[in-house]
Structure 1
Amino acid sequence: MMKVRPKPKDAVWTDEQWQAIDAKGNNILVAAAAGSGKTAVLVERIIRKIVDPDDEAEVDRLLIVTFTNAAAAEMRNRIGEAINKEIQKQPGSLHLRRQLSLLNRAHISTLHSFCMNVIRKYYYKVNIDPKFRILDDTEGELMREEIIEDIFEEEYGIEGNSSFYKLVDMYSGDRSDDALRSLVRRLYDFSRSHPSPEYWLDQMAARYDISDAERVEDLPWTPELLQDIQSQLRGAQSWIEKALQVTHEPGGPHPYGENFSEDLEKISSLLQADNWAELYDKFQTFTYGKLKTIRKTEGVLDELKEQAKSLRERAKKQTQELKEGLFSRPPEVFLKDVKTMAPSIRYLVKLVKEFSSRYQEAKREKAWLIFLILSISVLLF
């Protein structure tokens, strides 16, 4: 359970900031907008750790990482200034003076710099050449293009490679297989955000082994998919509500009010659906009515009229994409299509693994290293 002491009466911090500063006994994740005082809060938390008489921390034993060199430099300067202020309060504190001398050795850097230091120190544990260099974007892109080109050329050269051809037909257009090539690379990149990329890929493929599923609701990802659909529908509902508000403004397109009220009733009906089949049925009859005509004599401002129409168009686009993407086929056809995908998904995973193997080997041969922001959290934690 998170422990937070009462906020001092003279504290300048908000309650939420004080929680972030003083919380102990838990991992803590703080999300805050730009300009909300994140850096000041973090500095205060660090200083309180350093001066805590019950558990004095050494500044060079803390890991403080940022996204830019400028932010890291600012953090180091702020911590130094805060330590100096504490020394003025406690001029005889050898501990605080020691922290000031250790500050230059403290681990305050960008994520990339920290990762580089770790890898340079422990290169022998991860089988990396100690003389490695960072692969720049251009070199990396050329290498990836060459590898994917080689893999696809080999696949096309295998006689009777029906599994690959079926995958190409499923994920590519009439003119090129660029979409499938892009999918292989995107799946590779996404898999690298997991501690065990190959395990994640195998688990993804296993989720398509659904021969015993009788309804769309039996699919392993349907609960999350329904949540996402609900979220998108609420988003469309929000756009219409904003459009309705515009109709009530002075000079607003008040004749549209009836249209928008009808739109909200229809979206609300979708939100009340209990299952996939009911959603499908309701989407088949879901349409937006034609907006009422507004005459110039009604005193409607053009900018408000266009604003309301624009908001409604956003909602229409949101619901139309859902209808065309997920509810253009009856539930039984949708379920059958998903069941037939299992072999193709397994072959797709095979291609991603092959791409990964060759890419890693190519980088190892050239002593190249590349950082992916998504995978840094795995290295750190």
Structure 2
Amino acid sequence: MCMGWTEAQQKVIDTRKKNLLVSAAAGSGKTAVLVERIISMISEGENPIDIDHLLVVTFTNAAAAEMRGRIGKAIDAKLQKEPDNAHLQKQVSLLQSAQITTIHSFCLNVIRNYFHRIDLDPAFKIAEESEITLMKSDVIADVLERWYEEGREDFHQFIESYSYSKSDAPVEDLILQLYSFSMSAPWPEKWMEEKEKEFAIESLEDMNRSTWMQELLHYVKTVLGDLMQKNAKAIELCNLSDGPEAYLPALLSDRALLTELSMADTYEAYAGRFGGITHARLSGKKQEGVSPQLKDQVKALRDEVKKGLKDLTAQFFFQAPEEMLQDMQAVRSVMRVLFELTTDFRKEFAAKKEEKNVIDFNDLEHFALKILVEEKEGEMVPTEAACEISEQFEEILIDEYQDSNLVQETILQSISRERIGCPNRFMVGDVKQSIYKFRLAMPELFMEKYKSYAALDTLENGDT
């Protein structure tokens, strides 16, 4: 390609036999680098590979088509320089059948080739979204009707707690939301069991150890960090030659408060400190030569700090820890009903789809996963089918990796060659561009690799 690459880009293009995570902002040319890497692999070196030995995964059909077009143009450009290159000519013919595809199209291909491994009727069809929506509505209505007929006391308590009108719509939404979250996990049943156990809170120690509490405390600490930065900026402005120096005592008092708050490590500790927050008043002392603009900036920053602390108090520390524990214990039976209802819905929805011999996008991922991963001696390991597919692809290239969820991650990991010591995944993305949160994408996957890969020796560990 007739363009210059930076040193970092060229390293990404040339590095082989490692897992690579390329983190770059929008407009930085990361997709162009991905295309150039592909062209390099199929056209350079002593033994260039065929393009159908690469799996290139994107997240939309339009992106896949664009990628195929860009690769085609790059191959044509190479052929203009080397018109007699038989290998490049072969790539032109292979390009249309090459696996440059969405994750769902790849899963469909796996299912078409290995349907017999999961006893699936090969005549299945992918249901239209409208059909799936209607089917869900019918199934959830049947499930709720049966529960109403059974008349369990805890079910009626659940309805009273979460149905705010004569309609069951709020309850149906809760069930569908929990179902969607569970289907973004590789093993929904196990995920549901784990989440239900998180409501088994018997003591303050249990509450502090729970996953949701750890997430809450992490969020609070992050917000406090942001507020400390704003406080530091306000202090910096006060120390300018024309800054409102008289405001410093109040701001230093705020800094001490924020520092004390950030040192807490349990909900009880946070609650005790948030419960007694007071703020010193800004001095009204007149000063000569003070910039009105700087005074306004400092006041605005301080107001943001005070509002941030007020919001945290209102959201998370509006009651004593013992009262929160009592609320968690009270809601446990209600949550158990929600999990049971969702499990019933999932089973009956699956049965209805099987009866009609249709599948949806969740099924594409989970059926592919069932074909590619199995449990052996308590561990999830690649199946024979996964090993066969792994032999086909020299490298797996994933565009917009920040939009992956855990099911997709598990699928692609199962067909990689990492298990035999040959890491071969190339992942490109920008966590700030994650647009599929509504599809339960997990940008955390990107960040976990970003942090762990950055800490590894790129020459010895196969990651960068």
TM-score bucket (shorter structure): 0.7 to 0.9
Residue 150 in structure 1 maps to residue 142 in structure 2: yes
2:348 alignment counterpart: 358
Q: Tell me which moved more, 347-356 or 223-232.
A: 223-232
1:68 alignment counterpart: 60
1:345 alignment counterpart: 335
- CA apart distance, 1:187: 1.4
Q: Tell me which moved more, 286-295 or 206-215.
A: 286-295
Residue 106 in structure 1 maps to residue 103 in structure 2: no
Deviations 1:186-225 (A, max 9, x none): 1111111111111111112223334476464344554443
Q: Tell me which moved more, 183-192 or 309-318.
A: 309-318
1:333 alignment counterpart: 323
Aligned ranges for residues 221-240 of structure 1 at < 5 Å? 221-240=212-231
Q: Which amino acid aligns with 1:58?
A: D
What secondary structure is seen at the aligned counterpart in 2 of 1:190? helix
Q: Which amino acid aligns with 2:126?
A: R
Deviations 1:333-380 (A, max 9, x none): 333433444443333221111111122233333444332574544554
TM-score (norm 2): 0.65
- CA apart distance, 1:149: 3.1
Residue 59 in structure 1 maps to residue 54 in structure 2: no
Q: 1:316 to 1:134 in 2, by over 3 A?
A: farther
1:370 alignment counterpart: 360
2:398 alignment counterpart: none
Deviations 1:271-299 (A, max 9, x none): 1224332211111012566778899x987
Aligned ranges for residues 176-325 of structure 1 at < 5 Å? 178-211=169-202, 214=205, 216-219=207-210, 221-240=212-231, 262-287=253-278, 300=292, 305=296, 315-316=305-306, 318-325=308-315
Deviations 1:90-117 (A, max 9, x none): 5554322222221122122333433444
Deviations 1:221-256 (A, max 9, x none): 544432222112223334555666788999999987
- Quick check: 1:246–1:308 contact (8 Å CA) kept in 2? yes
Q: 1:118 to 1:254 in 2, by over 3 A?
A: farther
Q: 1:257 to 1:365 in 2, by over 3 A?
A: farther
Q: Distance in 1 between matches of 2:230 and 2:179?
A: 36
- CA apart distance, 1:37: 0.7
- CA apart distance, 1:36: 1.1
Residue 44 in structure 1 maps to residue 36 in structure 2: yes
Deviations 1:123-147 (A, max 9, x none): 45452563513422x4433433333
Q: Distance in 2 between matches of 1:301 and 1:294?
A: 17
Q: Distance in 2 between matches of 1:266 and 1:33?
A: 36
Q: Tell me which moved more, 284-293 or 317-326.
A: 284-293
Q: Distance in 1 between matches of 2:246 and 2:146?
A: 63
Q: 1:293 to 1:143 in 2, by over 3 A?
A: farther
Q: Tell me which moved more, 109-118 or 171-180.
A: 171-180
What secondary structure is seen at the aligned counterpart in 2 of 1:181? helix
**Aligned match for 2:123, one of 126, 130, 136:** 130
Q: 1:175 to 1:248 in 2, by over 3 A?
A: farther
RMSD: 3.9
Unaligned runs of 5+ in 2: 363-403, 414-464
Identity %: 35
- Quick check: 1:246–1:252 contact (8 Å CA) kept in 2? yes
- Quick check: 1:129–1:367 contact (8 Å CA) kept in 2? no
Q: Which amino acid aligns with 2:328?
A: V
What secondary structure is seen at the aligned counterpart in 2 of 1:65? strand
1:4 alignment counterpart: none
What secondary structure is seen at the aligned counterpart in 1 of 2:22? coil
Higher strand proportion (structure 1 or 2): 2
Deviations 1:311-351 (A, max 9, x none): 66665554344323332222233334334444433332211
